Amino acid sequence: MSTLTAPIEAPPAGPGRPAYRVTGKRVLSSEWAKLWSLRSTWITLGLGLLFLVAFGLIASSRYKSGIGSGHMDPDFADSTAVSLSLFGTNFAQLALGVLGVLVMAGEYSTGMIRSTMAAVPRRLPVLWAKAAVFGLVTLVVGILGAFITFGFGSGIVSGTPAAMSLTHAGVVRSLLGAGLYLGLVGVIGTALGALLRSVAGGISVLVGALMLIPGLVSLLPSSWRGDISPYLPSNAGASMFALTHDSTTLSPTAGLLVFLGWTALALAGAAYRLVRRDV
């Protein structure tokens, strides 16, 4: 007895899956999602905002109490509502800069960078996307913190020689400049993370560049110090949001250009190593 078996026909082929294309928008979306998926992002951004607001309000309160008691601290004698409100910028920059290092170097420490580079083989779009996303986030946090602190701080010092409002010349520019400075610090942190591929190394260089080197330069002879000090990253950045400047400091525009130069240098070094070295 023979058995006839009907041929099995294959199901009709459906439409082929479209080829995956790496686009700038998709890389940005990926980095945005990764940034907010980390608990450290929320904690450190919150600390940066807290430092900016808390220290600014403490400085304003201390100035107010000094005026009331008649025993003004010499460090606060020439303060304005803007300088008092932005007193916490030096502390906020550390939190935001360190988070920038973690955003990039953290992937090297966990090994996740291999998956990232496998998805984006050209590599450089990853650096640009991380820097853009984190820079934008820190810019918003910095501007928000600066205006919040000034709003409350100006109320604290109301009726004192330091009192100012948003309508005073240079106030809005200074507050925006502080936010921009913090945003660029975040970009530099991201670049250092890509350049050094080490969380500890990136943080060490960041702290050294922003805080230690200015102290060392202050030990140089005055003739050298005057030529070097204004162009250091932290000093050039400080001139971006200073309400006034003198012969020893850069103008806000010059400070911005110098700090943009430092930012571009860090990004160029990171891009070079990212392209030339394996993960």
DSSP class per residue in 13-54: P-PPPPPP---HHHHHHHHHHHHHH-HHHHHHHHHHHHHHHH
Residue-wise pLDDT tens digits, 229-264: 999 999 999 999 998 888 788 999 999 999 999 999
Cα 86 versus chain centre, distance: 15
Given a cut of 70, whether residue 11 has pLDDT beyond it is: no
Q: Number of structural domains, the chain?
A: 1
Write the single-letter amino acid at 101. Answer: V
Q: What is the pLDDT of residue 8?
A: 41
Q: What is the DSSP letter of 123?
A: -
In the 3-class helix/strand/coil scheme, how is 196-228 assigned residue by residue?
HCCHHHHHHHHHHHHHHHHHHHCCCCHHHHHHH
How many Cβ atoms sit within 10 Å of the Cβ of residue 269? 15
Asked if residue 149 is part of any domain, the answer here is: yes
Instruction: Please indicate, yes or no, if residue 145 is contained in any of the structural domains.
Output: yes
Residue 236: enclosing H or E segment and its boundaries? helix 233-240
Of 167 and 69, more confident: 167
- Distance, in Å, from the CA atom of 92 to the CA atom of 181, rounded to the nearest integer, reads 11
Residue 5 in domain: no
- pLDDT value of residue 3: 47
Q: How far is it, in rounded angstroms, from Cα 67 to Cα 161?
A: 9
Q: What is the pLDDT of residues 94-110, one digit of tens each?
A: 999 999 999 999 998 88
The span from the CA of 55 to the CA of 172, in Å, is 20
Flag whether 18 is in a domain: no
Task: State the average pLDDT over residues 78-95.
Answer: 93
| Within a domain: 123 | yes
Q: Is residue 3 part of a domain?
A: no
**Percent of all residues in the chain with a pLDDT value above 90, rounded to a whole number:** 61
The model's pTM is 0.89
pLDDT for residue 126: 92
Per residue in 40-67, pLDDT (tens digit) is: 899 999 999 999 999 999 999 988 888 8
Within a domain: residue 117?
A: yes
Can you give the residue range of the structural domain that contains 272?
Answer: 25-66+76-276
98 within some domain: yes
pLDDT over 70 at 4, yes or no: no
